[in-house]
């Protein structure tokens, strides 16, 4: 008797559900993407207990007739691929035809849909159709998922906490709302509104709805393109960063995707503008010909492969770096406004129109309050009027030193505080980067050669890289067992720190053995040297020395951050100072 048999449809769908429907967020994702593909302009997601009890997705899309409403729950039934060639020209979010059948096999489903003619209601439990009957004719589709995983107890047992499930759903809806700012999204859990966008097409308004006012006013618009890719979106100022990569959102042709290489390049573009273990908030939408990408990698369709990946990464890197190098990036220490509203009408509960009036748009010159300047002009008009600075660092006049660490400066705009150690680090860092990138080939001989002892393993690695050191104008030789002797070194080594600097250089060569590159090496050396020679905290300097430091900082490519990403300065506007001392009419 034959042992092999064909699975019945319900069992096959339950197995497929293991990949397609991992958790409540997976259901929301599949249903919302179907609504977007149905050309909806409004999508409402209603949850009960984070979706564990009930998920409803209501849209005003094209809807379905009775025949399609039934066929939609068959496995591999789809309206989005007509021929095999369509797989290589995908313009929709869904296309596999697995989602609805998989969801229906592990839940209780009620579908109500109408395509402007006759409404149809379909009820399915555990993959079996219970009934199909006419219903009210409201254009669009409403699909309700109840008791998810009720017939797969092993999957139900491993559901996360309600908070974790809700966080996952919210994260997805936030990202899809950023992908489609022209669609009005509403997310509700247990009658509490978590997200409400206006569908106006303004991406900055969606960012405001998700991240709030303080983040929104510190986002920078970016745009870049080459022959194959066009990128648009917003990146945060370097002072805005998070402990994880979740705020780095990449969208491809409106699809939320994950790509490790893209994330690395985005984060690396902020190098020395922020701490390396912190990550910016970025929303980048990449538009390209569908034939240049492959989204048919995993059922979740979040992983994507790119053709011409190197060109894309170079475009992203240059776009972000070019934008950061044209901005004044001095953090503004804001003094909170005194509240004049009643407790029942706080800034957090203002209607969106009023909040838009209060948005502060970060410019390269100063911050403009929309409600104070040109109130009759639109949000977009004020952004277009922003001017680029002639000089990145404003004119600063030092007046004193606090705790031997912070230089106090002033100008007509307000008061600035400069961390003298961080500022000197930045000056040194760029100096040594230039020296390493453009060596002058000058060296100095040592009257007393420097001997350095190493472990036997480190000695072997170092010996293989003697040529690198010789190219840098070091004269190095073996000296006994596992030791080297330095008889000559380049002139740019810091005086008084020669041995310490050489030891650090050798250590870096050993550490970078497996993935050594001259760029990483130069970066490590410049960072190390900049710190060694920086003015220390609690060291008093004269006004003349302060002026010299500020002038040197002005010549830097990035005068706003030390090599480790810490700010070199912060400022208070004149208005902020007046608020603190109650001189501004409060």
Distance CA(39)–CA(42), nearest Å, equals 9
Quick one: DSSP state of residue 87?
G
Bridge partner residues of 47 (DSSP): 55, 189
pLDDT at 362: 36
Evaluate if residue 452 carries a pLDDT over 50.
Answer: yes
Q: Specify burial of residue 166 (Cβ count, 10 A radius: 0-12, 13-18, 19+).
A: buried
Task: Please report which helix (H) or strand (E) contains residue 392, including its range.
Answer: none
Q: Is the pLDDT of residue 435 over 90?
A: no
pLDDT given for residue 507 in this prediction: 82
Question: Is the pLDDT score of 351 beyond 80?
Answer: no
Count the Cβ atoms, other than its own, within 10 Å of residue 287.
13
State the chain's mean pLDDT as an integer.
Answer: 79
Quick one: which H or E segment has residue 577? helix 574-580
Section 268-291 average pLDDT: 89
Q: Which of 35-39, 183-187, 188-192 has the lowest mean pLDDT?
A: 35-39
pLDDT band at 219 (very low <50, low <70, confident <90, very high): very high
Give the model's pLDDT for residue 546. Answer: 93
Chain centre to alpha carbon of residue 413: 31
Question: Does 581 have pLDDT greater than 80?
Answer: yes
Strand-pair partners of 120:
113, 134
- Residues 9/156, Cβ–Cβ less than 8 Å: no
> 213 vs 50, 203, 210, 348, CA distance in Å?
26, 14, 9, 9
- Structure-token pair, residue 241: 């960063």
3-class SS string, 287-350: EECHHHEECCCCCCCCECEECCHHHHHHHHHHHHHHHHCCCCCCCECCCCCCCCCCCCCCHHHC
- In 3D space, the residue among 111, 112, 108, 140 whose CA is nearest the CA of residue 40 turns out to be 140
Give dist(CA 81, CA 59) in Å, integer. 22
pLDDT-based confidence at residue 317 (cuts at 50, 70, 90): very high
Average pLDDT over residues 43-63: 93
**C-alpha angle 12/107/11, rounded to 5°?**
15
Q: Which of 162-171, 216-225, 274-283, 455-464 has the lowest mean pLDDT?
A: 455-464
Confidence grade of residue 149 (pLDDT, cut at 50, 70, 90): confident
pLDDT, position 258: 81
Binning pLDDT at 50, 70 and 90, where does residue 343 land? very low
Nearest of 169, 183, 148 to residue 59 by alpha carbon: 183
DSSP element (H, E) containing 417:
strand 414-419
HSE of 536, CA atoms in CB hemisphere, 13 A: 3
Using a cut of 0.75, tell me whether the model's pTM lies above it.
no
Q: H or E segment at 387?
A: none
Q: How confident is the model at residue 12 (pLDDT cuts 50, 70, 90)?
A: low
Give the lowest-confidence range in 369-383, 442-456, 549-563: 369-383
Q: Tell me the torsion sign for CA atoms 33, 106, 25, 110.
A: positive
* Whole-number CA gyration radius for the chain: 30
Residue 352 banded pLDDT, cuts 50, 70, 90: very low
Average pLDDT over residues 396-422: 93
Residue 420's pLDDT band, with cuts at 50, 70 and 90, is: very high
Q: List, in order of start, the domains of the chain with CATH numbers.
A: 9-196 (3.30.565.10), 218-324 (3.30.230.10), 441-491+495-532 (3.30.1370.100)
How confident is the model over 479-536, as pLDDT tens digits?
888 889 999 888 877 777 788 878 888 887 887 765 556 666 777 777 877 877 777 7
Residue 543, phi then psi, degrees to nearest 5: -60, -35
Inter-residue contact 28 to 51 (CB < 8 Å) = yes
- CA 418 to centroid of chain Cα atoms: 28
Q: At residue 349, does pLDDT exceed 50?
A: no
pLDDT at 358 over 50: no
Q: pLDDT at position 213, please?
A: 86
Q: At a CB cut-off of 8 Å and minimum separation 6, what does 165 contact?
A: 23, 24, 25, 50, 51, 52, 159
Percent over 90 (pLDDT), the chain: 32
pLDDT over 70 percentage in the chain: 76
The mean-pLDDT minimum among 396-405, 479-488, 522-531, 548-557 falls in 522-531
Check pLDDT > 80 for residue 158: no
**What is the rounded average pLDDT of the residues 322-339?**
79
pLDDT tens-digit series, residues 295-316: 655 555 456 778 888 999 999 9
* pLDDT higher than 80, residue 155: no
CA angle, corner 347, sides to 341 and 348, nearest 5? 135
Q: How confident is the model at residue 1 (pLDDT cuts 50, 70, 90)?
A: low
Q: Please say whether the beta carbons of 285 and 231 come within 8 A.
A: yes
Asked whether residue 171 carries a pLDDT value surpassing 60, the answer given is: yes
Q: Which helix (H) or strand (E) holds 238?
A: none
Most confident of 42-56, 118-132, 355-369, 528-542: 42-56
Q: pLDDT (tens digit, 9 = 90+) per residue, 85-137?
A: 444 444 456 444 567 888 888 889 999 999 877 889 999 988 788 999 988 87
Q: How confident is the model at residue 384, as a pLDDT?
A: 47
Query: Quick one: pLDDT at residue 75?
Result: 61
Burial (CB count within 10 angstroms: exposed 0-12, middle 13-18, buried 19+), residue 584: middle
Q: What is the pLDDT of residue 207?
A: 93
Contact 488, 474 (CB under 8 A): yes
In DSSP terms, which residues pair with 219 in a beta bridge? 236
**CA–CA distance, 364 with 373 (Å, rounded to integer):** 17
DSSP state of 578: H
State mean pLDDT over 230-253: 91
Higher pLDDT, 382 or 558: 558
CB 139 within 8 A of CB 65: no
From residue 289, give the alpha-carbon distance in Å to each of 11, 168, 262, 312: 38, 30, 18, 13
The Cα 330–Cα 237 span in angstroms is 10
């Amino acid at each position: 008797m034959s042992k092999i048999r064909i699975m019945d449809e319900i069992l096959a769908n339950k197995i497929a559900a293991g990949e397609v429907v991992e958790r409540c967020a997976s259901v929301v994702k599949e249903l919302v993407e179907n609504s977007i593909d149905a050309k909806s302009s409004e999508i409402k997601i209603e949850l009960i207990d984070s979706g564990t009890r009930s998920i409803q997705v209501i849209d005003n899309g094209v809807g379905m007739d009775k025949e399609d409403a039934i066929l939609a729950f068959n496995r591999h039934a789809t309206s989005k691929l007509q021929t095999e060639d369509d797989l290589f020209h995908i313009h929709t979010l869904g296309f596999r035809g697995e989602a609805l059948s998989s969801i229906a096999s592990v839940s209780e489903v009620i579908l109500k849909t109408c395509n402007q003619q006759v409404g149809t209601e379909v009820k399915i439990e555990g993959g079996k159709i219970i009934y199909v009957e006419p219903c009210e004719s409201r254009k669009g589709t409403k699909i309700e998922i109840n008791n998810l995983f009720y017939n797969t107890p092993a999957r139900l047992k491993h559901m996360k906490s309600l908070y974790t499930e809700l966080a996952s759903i919210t994260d997805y809806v936030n990202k899809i709302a950023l992908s489609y700012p022209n669609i009005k999204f509403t997310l509700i859990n247990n009658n509490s509104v978590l997200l409400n966008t206006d569908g106006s097409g303004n991406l900055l308004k969606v960012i405001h709805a998700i991240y709030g006012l303080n983040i929104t006013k510190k986002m920078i618009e970016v745009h870049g393109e080459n022959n194959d890719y066009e990128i648009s979106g917003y990146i945060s100022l370097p002072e805005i960063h998070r402990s994880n990569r979740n705020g780095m959102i990449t969208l491809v042709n409106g699809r939320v995707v994950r790509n490790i290489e893209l994330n690395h390049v985005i984060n690396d573009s902020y190098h020395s503008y922020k701490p390396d273990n912190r990550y910016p908030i970025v929303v980048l939408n990449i538009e390209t010909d569908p034939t240049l990408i492959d989204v048919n990698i995993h059922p979740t369709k979040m992983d994507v492969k790119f053709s011409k990946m190197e060109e894309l990464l170079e475009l992203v890197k240059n776009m972000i770096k070019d934008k950061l190098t044209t901005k004044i990036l001095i953090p503004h220490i804001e003094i909170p406004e005194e509240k004049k509203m009643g407790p029942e009408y706080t800034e957090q509960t203002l209607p969106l129109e009023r909040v838009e009036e209060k948005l502060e748009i970060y410019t390269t010159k100063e911050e403009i309050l929309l409600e104070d300047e040109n109130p009759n002009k639109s949000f977009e008009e004020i952004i277009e009027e922003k001017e680029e600075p002639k000089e990145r660092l404003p004119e600063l006049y030092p007046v004193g030193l606090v705790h031997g660490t912070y230089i106090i400066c002033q100008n007509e705009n307000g008061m600035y505080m400069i961390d003298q150690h961080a500022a000197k680090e930045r000056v040194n860092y760029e100096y040594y980067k230039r020296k390493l990138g453009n060596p002058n080939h000058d060296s100095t001989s040592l009257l007393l050669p420097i001997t350095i002892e190493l472990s036997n393993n480190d000695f072997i690695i170092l010996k293989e890289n003697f040529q690198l050191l010789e190219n840098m104008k070091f004269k190095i030789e073996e000296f006994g067992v596992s030791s080297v002797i330095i008889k000559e070194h380049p002139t740019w080594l810091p005086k008084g720190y020669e041995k310490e600097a050489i030891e650090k250089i050798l250590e870096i060569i050993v550490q970078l053995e497996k993935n050594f590159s001259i760029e990483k090496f130069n970066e490590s050396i410049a960072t190390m040297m900049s710190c060694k020679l920086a003015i220390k905290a609690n060291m008093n300097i004269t006004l003349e020395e302060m002026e010299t430091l500020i002038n040197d900082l002005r010549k830097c490519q990035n005068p706003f951050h030390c090599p480790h990403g810490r700010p070199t300065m912060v400022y208070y506007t004149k208005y902020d100072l007046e608020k603190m001392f109650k001189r501004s009419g409060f």
